[in-house]
Every structure is written in structure tokens, then in C-alpha cells.
């Protein structure tokens, strides 16, 4: 049965590029990496680039102080940018028909880290600490209560595919008539847990990440949030297709031949009723780790055998982990809106051992005649894979 089309509002977003659609787009089109700042204290005896979100963050209201965390402040900063869209959905459908589905991998772990330091020093947890700050469900519960919603609200946590997979969950809520509109996206904040974990895997670069280069040496960690309103109301962007797979190859390494990545891209194209030639731009997962970039280049070269304009945008934002999928879907939305392609920022030293891709340069011109249809890839630990396709709406 033909499904009714679903649409996404303009995104609300905050990350190392800036805060708000206009600010982020301006920095993106200038290929500005200045938001990636050198910081110490995350990794012993190392200074590393970190994608710290820009802009003043709003305070959490006193009546929701049990949700007080930097993670939820980032989320609120993004959500307030699309407050008019959220309130319009509530006015049209009622608070009982507007859901929330978000992705995160950190939630308020940073606040728990701080609380445990106090516990170790004093023998007591801080009076202001509430475990609700830490729970993975916290972002969705917080945003639902902030806007007075009573429909389904939950969080997806599948590492770096979290917020990409949230779009599938949000779409299902509407298709199965459980909601009429869903606030969908993702959020992640900086914390020692993730830095220490990736450091233990020897996956953190001491310099700006260098995706697809023969000199790539690992990721830069970032933070951020990106949220949309999904509904059947025609709006800025149409959600065309979603593909998911789980190859379960290894707990932390992708399948070397990109089997699950290929499946996710194929499923997304099938879901959208499109061929690979219809994709105008592909946002690569492109973490700049040796294994991820190798498998993704293999997968992309096979699916897009005729080539596709593509780039990895993590040198601008850092790898925002659970927020990466939504952040890069938002970047696709900015590309559609502007008719421009994000430049692939790297040293230009191609890896002869992996397939060459059509990486966007400053001289690359977007095809102005082709429909602006974008795919965004997200791949995660445990073989979790997701690809999302969107195009212009109104």
C-alpha cells in the first residue's frame, strides 16, 4: 500500500559550527573548522581538537530541575529554534498526539561523573544530583514535559546510529497512527566516559580528523543537538526513505567489506523508490578511523558505481556520536535549501588501498538541474547501520 508522504520542518541545531540554521550554514559554506578547539584534560598529557557547541545555552526551568544537564540544555537550545513548528503541531493535533523520539549515547553522564567525584571526596552525592539527569530516557522525557506533551516519548541509544534510527521510529509512530507529529532528532554532550572509551580503542586523533586520507588517524569527539518536527503536513523537506541493517560483525569494528553499510543504503533506496543515480549528494559517516573509512569507501563505490558527490562533515562538527545522524541529516537539509554541497575537508592525500570517491572540493559545482535528494549514512559499534534519504518539500 502506498504510504502518505511525511515531511520534516526546518531543523533546530547547535554544534561546533554555530547555533541556529543560519549560523551553522554560514560556517559550513565557508568550510570553517575554527569551532574545533584544542583542549586539554580529556586525554592524559594530550591536547586534542574537540567539537564544543557554540552559543549561550538556555537554563533548564526550575520545575524540571531533575533533568538539569548540559545534554538537555543543548537539546533545549535546538528545540527552541523550532518552537513555532512544535507549537503549531500541538495546536493542530493536541498534546496527546505529538510524540518525541530522540537519539543519544551520553545523556547526562557528565553530571554523573561530577557527582561521583563529589561522592569520592565527601562520601555523599550532591544534593542537586538526580539520577534522571543520567538516564538515556532523560532527553525525550525532558522535552516532552517541557512542551506539556502526553504522547509517546522515548530515546533510542544505538551508539553512533542513535539519532538516525530515531527517524525510523518516529516515522513508525505516525504510520501506525500512534502520533500525528513527532519531534525527532538527537543530542550528545562531551563527557569523560566517551573520551576514555575511544582513547582505550586508540581511535582519537591528536589533530583535526582527516577522513578518507592515507594519513587518517582517528576521530575528533564533538557535541551537539539537532531536532525536527516530522508530520504529514507538507513542509520544507520530505523524508523519502530509511534503511537499517545490523550485521553484528564485531563489537567495535565494522564489517571489512561494508556488508551492513551496503544493505542500509540499498534498503533506503528501495524504501524511497529511487536508484543510486537519483542521489544528488551523499553525506558520508567518514569518521577518519582506518577501518570505518575503508569499509565505507568500498560500500559506497559498489552502491554508487556511477559515482556520487559526497563528503564527510565531521571535521567541522566533530563526531557528535548519538547526535551525529540527526546533525548530518540537518546538514543535508541545509545543502538542499542552499543548493550547495559541503566541502570534504582533508589533506588531499588519497589512500591508494581504498576506492576513490567523488569527494566534494571547493571547485565542485552542484548539479542545478537535478532534484536535490540527499542520503546520510550512519554506522555504529555492533554492526548497527542506518541510511536516511530526504529531498526538498515545499
Catalytic entry in 134, 285, 344, 345:
285
* Burial grade of 28 (CB within 10 A; 0-12, 13-18, 19 or more): buried
pLDDT > 70? residue 267: yes
CB of 96 closer than 8 Å to CB of 151: yes
User: To which residue does cell 555523599 refer?
Assistant: 124
Q: Determine whether 160 is an active site residue.
A: yes
Please state whether beta strands 46-51 and 281-283 pair in parallel, antiparallel, or not at all (unpaired).
Answer: unpaired
pLDDT > 70? residue 367: yes
Q: What is the pLDDT of residue 394?
A: 74
pLDDT > 60? residue 1: no
Catalytic entry in 134, 199, 319, 345:
319
**Distance set, CA 13 to CA 23, 130, 158, 330 (Å):** 10, 27, 21, 8
Question: What does 79-110 look like in DSSP terms, one character per residue?
Answer: HHHTHHHHHHHHHHH-GGGEEEEEE-SSTTHH
> Which tens digit of pLDDT belongs to each residue from 331-348?
999 999 999 999 999 999
**Of 365 and 293, more confident:** 293
HSE-CB for 217 with a 13 A CA cutoff: 10
Q: Determine whether 374 is an active site residue.
A: no
Rounded distance between C-alpha atoms, residue 19 and residue 80, angstroms:
11
Which structural domains are found in the chain, ordered by start? 7-392 (3.40.47.10)
Rounded distance between C-alpha atoms, residue 107 and residue 292, angstroms:
25
- pTM for the predicted model, two decimal places: 0.97
Of 17, 55, 12, which Cα lies nearest the Cα of 315? 17
How many CB atoms lie under 10 A from the CB of residue 354? 17
Of 30, 4, 14, which Cα lies nearest the Cα of 340? 30
> Which tens digit of pLDDT belongs to each residue from 102-147?
999 999 999 999 999 999 999 999 999 999 998 999 999 999 999 9
Please state whether beta strands 98-103 and 18-19 pair in parallel, antiparallel, or not at all (unpaired).
Answer: unpaired
273 Rama sector, left if φ>0, alpha if ψ -120 to 50, beta otherwise: left
Please state whether beta strands 384-392 and 237-246 pair in parallel, antiparallel, or not at all (unpaired).
Answer: antiparallel
pLDDT > 90? residue 161: yes
- The neighbouring-strand residues paired with 38 are 49
Catalytic entry in 160, 179, 191, 374:
160
Q: Determine whether 192 is an active site residue.
A: no
Amino acid at each position: 500500500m502506498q504510504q502518505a508522504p511525511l515531511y520534516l520542518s526546518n531543523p533546530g541545531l547547535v554544534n561546533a559550527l554555530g547555533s541556529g540554521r543560519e549560523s551553522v550554514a554560514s560556517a559550513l559554506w565557508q568550510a570553517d573548522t575554527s569551532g574545533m578547539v584544542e583542549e586539554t584534560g580529556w586525554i592524559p598529557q594530550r591536547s586534542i581538537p574537540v567539537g564544543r557547541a557554540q552559543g549561550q545555552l538556555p537554563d533548564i526551568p526550575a520545575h524540571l530541575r531533575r533533568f538539569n544537564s548540559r545534554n538537555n540544555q543543548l537539546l533545549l537550545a535546538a528545540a527552541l529554534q523550532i518552537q513555532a513548528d512544535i507549537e503549531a503541531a500541538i495546536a493542530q493535533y493536541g498534546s496527546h498526539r505529538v510524540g518525541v523520539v530522540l537519539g543519544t549515547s551520553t545523556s547526562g553522564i557528565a553530571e554523573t561523573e561530577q557527582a561521583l567525584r563529589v561522592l569520592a571526596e565527601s562520601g555523599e552525592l550532591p544534593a542537586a544530583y538526580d539520577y534522571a539527569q543520567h538516564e538515556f530516557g532523560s532527553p525525550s522525557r525532558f522535552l516532552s514535559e517541557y512542551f506539556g506533551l502526553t504522547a509517546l516519548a522515548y530515546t533510542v541509544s544505538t551508539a553512533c546510529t542513535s539519532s538516525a534510527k530515531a527517524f525510523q521510529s518516529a516515522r513508525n509512530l505516525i504510520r501506525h497512527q500512534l502520533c500525528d507529529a513527532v519531534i525527532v532528532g538527537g543530542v550528545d554532550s562531551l563527557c569523560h566516559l566517551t573520551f576514555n572509551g575511544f582513547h582505550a580503542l586508540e581511535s582519537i586523533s591528536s589533530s583535526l580528523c582527516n577522513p578518507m586520507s592515507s594519513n587518517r588517524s582517528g576521530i575528533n569527539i564533538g557535541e551537539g543537538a539537532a531536532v525536527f518536527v516530522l508530520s504529514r503536513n507538507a513542509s520544507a523537506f520530505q523524508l523519502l526513505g530509511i534503511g537499517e541493517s545490523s550485521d553484528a560483525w564485531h563489537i567495535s569494528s565494522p564489517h571489512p567489506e561494508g556488508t551492513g553499510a551496503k544493505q542500509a543504503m540499498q534498503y533506503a533506496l528501495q524504501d524511497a523508490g529511487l536508484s543510486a543515480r537519483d542521489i544528488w549528494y551523499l553525506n558520508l559517516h567518514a569518521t577518519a578511523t582506518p577501518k570505518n573509512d575503508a569499509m565505507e569507501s568500498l560500500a559506497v563505490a559498489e552502491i554508487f558505481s556511477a559515482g556520487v558527490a559526497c563528503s564527510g562533515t565531521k571535521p567541522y562538527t566533530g563526531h557528535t556520536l548519538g547526535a551525529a545522524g540527526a546533525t548530518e541529516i540537518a546538514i543535508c537539509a541545509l545543502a538542499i535549501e542552499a543548493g550547495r554541497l559541503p566541502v570534504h575537508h582533508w589533506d588531499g592525500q588519497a589512500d591508494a588501498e581504498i576506492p576513490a570517491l567523488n569527494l566534494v572540493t571547493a571547485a565542485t559545482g552542484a548539479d542545478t538541474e537535478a532534484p536535490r535528494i540527499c542520503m546520510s549514512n550512519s554506522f555504529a559499534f555492533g554492526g548497527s547501520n542506518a541510511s536516511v534519504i530526504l529531498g526538498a518539500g515545499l
